[in-house]
């Protein structure tokens, strides 16, 4: 029995997921794709046998054979697409951010509360990355003692033309927010954002890079350098410092070449390359759980928490002062 998937949004991530479902994910196939760009969606559908193209997400979600929905449209379009899927009680994998603001995420939580079950997984794919998993195992086993700091570096070679200063926090640092919550098993309670004079490589008006400080409920501190026009490649690093040791991931030294009197390696240029395995495993796990009508990855609560932290981060970036995160109490469904 194959799971029929509707993919909403056929930009960079949506097209990559369509390719992935065809190439590396068993037990599932794409039966519908939707994108407001009619030419683009037709071209993507043409590459998949039996996939129908739509410009309207509602029509794609209601198409025959759709058992689950993968949402990869821009953040502001997520809420509507999720609610459409939930109306039909379909399992959802939604790219991050779940919603750009906590209010939208709360409406998703409310829709799941009415259904009485969780159907939404958020695309925090770092939880499926082998290095992150090892770090989490080490921390959980107490291998470096109580964590004091996470020092994170998040660099993109270049930002796309539509990228804004808010997106450095809401679209990029949101990954570190989720990774920190997951690795530490704590909530983020306060955010401070420092913005140096922008890099001259950053597009006009973009506050890039930035330093984001997160405080957590267990008294740890997470510092994140976000630099989305670093020029040289895609790098995501994390060093955990605990009371009795430290551990580092993301050096990317999978292969070191020594030749011609030099040593060196390659730096991935893009997240679809660096996290290719994580994306594959994420979608496979989602498909396996969705086939049983379940969610076993990061859920809507995780999406809400990240949105609440992002909201505090945006306020902190504007005001320049430390801003506390406001969150509702965790509903029973998510405990
Ligand atoms: C993008 O949306 C991602 O999710 C990438 O992982 C991140 O590195 C990038 O900065 C975001 O724009």
Query: Helix, strand, coil: what percent of the chain each, to 5?
Result: 40, 25, 40
Residue 172 CB less than 6 A away from ligand 1: yes
Q: Which atom of ligand 1 is nearest to the CA of 234?
A: 8
CATH number of 3-125+277-298: 3.40.50.720
The tens place of each residue's pLDDT in the chain, 335 residues long, gives: 899 999 999 999 999 999 999 999 999 999 999 999 999 999 999 999 999 999 999 999 999 999 999 999 999 999 999 999 999 999 999 999 999 999 999 999 999 999 999 999 999 999 999 999 999 999 999 999 999 999 999 999 999 999 999 999 999 999 999 999 999 999 999 999 999 999 999 999 999 999 999 999 999 999 999 999 999 999 999 999 999 999 999 998 889 999 999 999 999 999 999 999 999 999 999 999 999 999 999 999 999 999 999 999 999 999 999 999 999 999 999 99
Protein residue whose Cα sits closest to atom 8 of ligand 1: 172
Tell whether ligand 1 has an atom less than 6 A from the beta carbon of residue 271.
Answer: yes
Report the alpha-carbon distance of residue 323 to residue 330 in Å, rounded.
21
Task: Examine domains 3-125+277-298 and 127-271+306-334 and report if their fold is the same.
Answer: no
Q: Whose CA is nearest to atom 3 of ligand 1?
A: 172
Q: Provide the residue ranges of all domains of the chain, joining segments of one domain with +.
A: 3-125+277-298, 127-271+306-334
CA of 96 to the centre of ligand 1 (A): 9
Task: Mark out the alpha helices in the chain (DSSP H runs).
Answer: 12-23, 38-46, 57-61, 78-87, 102-115, 130-140, 165-167, 174-184, 271-274, 276-291, 300-319
Between the CA atoms of 281, 286, 287 and 290, what dihedral angle is there, to the nearest 10 degrees? 160
Counting from 1 in the atom list of ligand 1, the atom nearest the Cα of 163 is 12
Q: Whose CA is nearest to atom 6 of ligand 1?
A: 271
As a whole number of angstroms, the distance between CA 321 and CA 317 comes to 8
Query: Is the C-beta atom of 165 inside 6 A of ligand 1?
Result: no
pTM of the complete model: 0.97
pLDDT for 252 equals 84
**Atom 7 in ligand 1: which residue has the minimum CA distance?**
172
Asked if residue 278 lies in contact with residue 288, where contact means CB atoms within 8 angstroms, the answer is no
Rounded distance from Cα 294 to ligand 1 centre (Å): 27
| Contact criterion met (CB below 8 Å) for 242 and 182 | no
d(CA 2, CA 54): 21
User: Tell me, which fold does domain 127-271+306-334 have in CATH?
Assistant: Dihydrodipicolinate Reductase; domain 2 (3.30.360)
**Ligand 1 atom at shortest distance from the alpha carbon of 271:** 6
Q: What order of strands is seen across the sheet that includes strand 188-194?
A: 245-249, 235-242, 147-155, 221-227, 210-216, 188-194, 323-324
| CA 271 / ligand 1 centre spacing (Å) | 7
Taking the CA of residue 236 as reference, the ligand 1 atom at the shortest distance is 8
Give me the residue label for tokens 């409406």.
107
Return the best residue to mutate from 152, 171, 276 for the ligand 1 pocket (most ligand atoms within 8 A of CB).
171
Query: In 120-234, which ranges are E strands?
Result: 120-122, 147-155, 188-194, 210-216, 221-227
**pLDDT for 85:** 98
The finding on whether 156 has its CB within 6 A of some atom of ligand 1 is yes
Name the one residue in this structure whose structure tokens are 């809507």: 300
């Amino acid at each position: 029995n194959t799971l029929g998937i509707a993919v909403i949004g056929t930009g960079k991530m949506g097209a990559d997921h369509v390719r992935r479902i065809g190439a590396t994910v068993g037990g599932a196939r794409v039966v519908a794709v939707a994108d407001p760009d009619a030419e683009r969606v037709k071209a993507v559908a043409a590459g998949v046998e039996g996939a129908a193209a739509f410009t309207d997400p509602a029509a794609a979600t209601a198409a025959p054979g759709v058992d689950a929905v993968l949402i990869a449209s821009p953040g502001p379009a997520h809420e509507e697409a999720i609610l459409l899927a939930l109306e039909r009680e379909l399992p959802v994998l939604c790219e991050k951010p779940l919603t750009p603001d906590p209010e939208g995420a709360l409406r998703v939580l409310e829709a799941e509360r009415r259904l009485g079950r969780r159907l939404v997984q958020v695309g925090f794919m770092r939880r499926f990355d082998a290095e992150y998993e090892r770090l989490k195992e080490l921390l959980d086993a107490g291998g470096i003692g109580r964590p004091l700091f996470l020092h994170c570096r998040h660099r993109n070679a270049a930002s796309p033309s539509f990228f804004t200063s808010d997106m450095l926090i809401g679209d990029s640092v949101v990954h570190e927010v989720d990774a920190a919550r997951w690795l530490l098993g704590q909530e983020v309670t306060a955010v401070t954002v420092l913005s140096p004079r922008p890099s001259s490589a950053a597009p006009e008006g973009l506050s890039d890079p930035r330093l984001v400080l997160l405080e957590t409920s267990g008294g740890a501190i997470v510092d994140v350098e976000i630099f989305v026009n670093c020029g040289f490649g895609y790098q995501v690093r994390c060093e955990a410092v605990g009371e009795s040791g430290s551990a580092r991931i993301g050096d990317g030294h999978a292969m070191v070449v020594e030749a011609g009197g030099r040593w060196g390696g390659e730096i991935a240029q893009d997240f679809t390359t660096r996290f290719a395995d994580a994306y594959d495993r994420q979608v496979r796990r989602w498909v396996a759980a969705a086939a049983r009508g379940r969610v076993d990855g990061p859920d809507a609560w995780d999406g809400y928490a990240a949105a609440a932290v992002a909201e505090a981060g945006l306020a902190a970036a504007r005001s320049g002062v430390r801003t506390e995160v406001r969150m509702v109490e965790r509903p029973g469904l998510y405990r």
